[in-house]
Each structure stands twice: as structure tokens, then as C-alpha cells.
Structure 1
């Protein structure tokens, strides 16, 4: 167990004994966003325990990351960080960090309720703009650049018309989205949130599957299309042509946020408060002991093989991101290291000299 920094309720967690060894064997770490607690959490194997490392953001939700960069969608901005591993020796003696993500820039989007995000193969950051019911990218002039909206949404308006939320890539391009309804009125999705959800294909705007219980986090992995039916606490596989679905696993909570590595799915679980808009759904009826944390599911067997649950401070999770190949990363948002670390183009670096 590891407590984070001081908060109204201490940030604490507990995990199965095999979780650290699993991360080590996969040579990976995890990022988890929790907008309710205002934290980005780094889960790192540290001996026989999971080190839970907290960084503060204003309502962080969507995450996109690889070995070189990290983007965090927050309340009214998207923060971008870059990995500068050469700074690692300044953090600890002996050095133990294999990545150091330092804040690079912040883009002010306005409060648009950024949901899932992903880096396309060409490096472009795509994100779900839930308030305006569209997919967007960034440029230097605009708050956001709308690039696609569902065919059932007639126009752009800051009205959360269908609660567009999930984004999945296929072959490095945006391909699948989830929404809580195929609706076109202000917050129209709320009328049938129990089973009005849809999964759509960007290629032709076709609705692949409907009648879903609060779908989130569509993903293409291992040649298969996956989705979380959050309202049922279910990981499902969906036929991308027929829309037929098959339950692969069930988890004890509101399932939202998923990433894969090999045969393992890392799934975020949230509790649901009575005041939350996401009540009156099957998981609320069926499960009085809802949990928050990260569940690891073997997608071939449909079984939970490891888990970490938050025992204090974190009730809701949005995104889960695997950092493949990075075992002990650090995130730096302020302080001396950030102030005295400089990234220059290679041509300029060749002409940098220090006085004797």
C-alpha cells in the first residue's frame, strides 16, 4: 500500500501480490486519470509493491502516450509533455527512472469536456470533444479544430447532444467511436442512458452496434474490436461487420478506460455516487459493493489475473494507458528540474559548449 500526497481523503491503494511481477514481466507501467480526485496516477513496479505516484491536474480525463510524449486532457486545456530520459540521473542516486516526462506546453481548449484521446500514426493528436459532439485536432489559432461529427448530429453546438466519449484507432487512424445515444437534442442521451448507447465506424458513419449500456473505450487489438459496456461492467468483443457482441469478462464496477498489452487488458473501474449522472444503470442495480481501481483481465480466458483497488481518495477513473517498454517513468510539472532542463534541436546541440 502507498499513500499519495495530502488530500481531503488520503490517496491509498492495495493490490494483489502478483501485480508488480506482472508489470515487470511485461516491461510496462500504467497511467491512470481520475478527474474526481484531480490526479494523474503513475503505477510502477517497485520491488514487491506497486508504487502509486500522483500528479495534480484540473479534472484530468483523456490520455494519449507513447515512449516519447504524453498528452493529458483536463478541464479547459490539453497539457503536452515530452520524455527527456537524459534528465533521469538528476532524480535519484542511483538512477532508477527510464523515462522523464517534462511539461512542454498547454493548449487552452476552453471547457469542452475532453474525453478519450489518441495519437494517430502521423503524430496528430485526436480527441473527443464531448460538449460539441465531435472529434477534433489542434492548431495554433483555434481552441479546437472539428474534424468529424456523427451523422446523426446535425450541427455543432455546446450542448452534449449524444455524449460522444470513446475513440479507437485502427491501423494508426481514428476509426471507432462510442456515444451514449444516437441523439441530436441538448443532452438527449440522458433519456435512455441505460441501454441507448452506440458504437460507430468513422469510415462510413455506420452504427455498428446499438442497444449498448453506456459504452466507452472502443479498441482494436489483436485483430479484434473491443468495447467496455460500462453500465454492465463488461468487456465485450464486437464483430465490426455484423455488430454481434460477446461478453469476454465481467468486472465489479463501472468499467471505463482500457488498454492492452499482449493477452492482457488493463481496465479501469469506478464507483458511482448517488449524485452521479451515471446511475439507474444495470451495474447500479446489481452490485452494491462497487470498486475503483485497475483490473487485469486475460482476454483469452476471460478471467481476472491481478488487480489494484484504491482504498481511499479515488472513486472514479476515466482513462488507463499502458506505457510499454517504460518500467519506472517520472512526470515533472514544476520545480528546478523543469526550470533547468533544455531540449534543443540536434544542430544546435552540436554547438553547445560549457565553460571549464
Structure 2
């Protein structure tokens, strides 16, 4: 058994691997909308549909990725995901070479997004389960926290980097880099030991695991709505209020999200996931209400900052509670089921918030976010009874 004091030796390669994976995701988010809209001359609906395909593929692959992680090993799941990511990069490259043939290009992009989303599910479920197995269950919250930092940092850096590379060297270069980053992700972890797999265990079906962790999953889903409201509508709110550059809002959220994870990564393990999640949700509610009532840009930025602080530790805090619901041999399935609640929340929150904004105004969206976080607290209190 790997000792828990090996965290600093075993986990950094996994964090670097996850960072490289999410650089590829951030890069596609940065350049694909413009490529589809401008180069292929297709509609905004097609842009949204193609971009959203990856998230849906990730969601639907969660059960499979959990099963592979538990039955074939976390290392195998992670490396299978990375292999599929390299294949998606090759399909992206091919699509860019068929830019003059719109039908062929869009079909290839659709296939690439499905493969990319499936690869994300396998790679990240494997990475989380692998990291927790290597570091020890006592540091599971810390493992999830640092994985989250790598994920959000990869997306934040990947998008602008891809835009710069596209303008300097062309879009095909960006897609080649996606393949190279995927290969680097594989190399980072190649020397790490595999975890043992117990094939004698009678495994619960995915739907039963969903039921076991549904309290934590639902609380995560409700809490993620505040994040979705910021990512989807904060730019439109700033535009509507004439508050200037909305990038400050994204920067405020992202900076305090990452800072909180860096400074307090040990809190879920040290104080317990339940307590940390409740405090985090109260902070998130405060941030959402500040944006909802904001009379000025500074108040709205303060709300984004508090939302970043509050949302930062919710995934690892509730994740600590979720994985304790199952035996270690079912950890991959539990993590896949838990993450599926997050995927589903992001998929549904945007359209729901859009309806609210259409009926009322953009600031009302953040009352929706605040109420959703309150429902997350109610879900956890119901569990406590």
C-alpha cells in the first residue's frame, strides 16, 4: 500500500497530466467557435451545438469510465482517455484541412467533439481515482482540490493561448499541439505505479451508485448553477449596465477560485466535507446576491469574487463525502456518477437562466443562482437528519 506521506512525490505528475488535458480543452473552446462561424460560415446554433457536444459526450461516458477505472485500473482508464484525446486531435487536424468542404469539416468536428468528450471522462475519472489511491483516502479532498486547480488553469490558459497561436501560425498548428500535449500528459504519469484491481468484488450497477451518492451529487448540481450563471451571463450583464470590460468579472472569479484552492486545499480532509461545503455555500449565496443587487461594477466584481471563493471547495468537499459511500474498489464508478451531476447541471443551468433573463433581467439570473445554492444547503441538511 502506498503511504499517504508520498503525496508530494506521487500526485504532481497526475496534476501536470490533468493540466495538459485541460489545456487541450481550453484551446478548442478558444478557437472552434470562430472557425465554425467564420471559416465554415455556419450559424450560432451550429456553433453552440458543436461546442456543447463535448460536454454531453463526457456526461454519457461517465458510467463507462467509472466501470473501466474499477475493473481495468485507474492507470489504464487514464491512458485510454489520453489515447482517445490524441485521436481527437488527429480528427481536428483533418477537419481543418477540409475547411473548403463545409459538410466534411463539420462532420469531422462533430466526431472529434464526441471523441474528445469521451476521452475527458476516461482520463479525469482515472486521474482522480488514481490520485486518491496513491495518496490515500485521508487526502482525497486535497487530491480533488489540486485536480480542480489544474482543470480550471488549463482552460483559462488554453483559450487565449490558442487564439494567439491561430493568429500567428494557423489553426492546424493548434490542433497539432493538442496531440503533442496529450502525448505529454501520458508521459507525465508513465512511471507511476498502477493500483490493484479486485475483480472478485460483486459490483453495484451504475444507477445504484448514483442513488448512493445522490445527496452529494444533487448538492453539487445546485451549487454549480451559480458558476454557470456567471460563465453564461456575466458578460451580458456588464454590457447591459455599461460597466465596461467583463473580463474583469471572469478574472475575479477565477483568481479567487484558484487562490482558495491553493490556500485551503487541506480543509475538506481536515475539517470534514460537510462543514466546509456548508460554509462554502453560504459564501456562494452571498456572492450571488451581491451580483443580483449590485448597483455598481465594483459590487458586482465583489460578488464574482465571493462566488469564486464559495464555489472553489464545494466539489472536493462533497466528493470526500461521496466516495466514502462506496468501497474502494467502486471508487471510480462513484467519482464518475458524482461528476455526472456536475455535467448535467451545467448542461441545464444555461438554458434555464436564459429563460429567467428573458422574462425578467440579467441580474435576476443571480437570484436563481443564490436560490439554487440555498437548495444545496437544504439537501445537505436533509442528509444530516
- Normalising to structure 2: TM-score of the pair? 0.26
What TM-score results when the alignment is normalised by the length of structure 1?
A: 0.27
Which one has more relative contact order, counting CA pairs under 8 Å at least 6 apart? 2
> Which one has the bigger strand percentage?
1
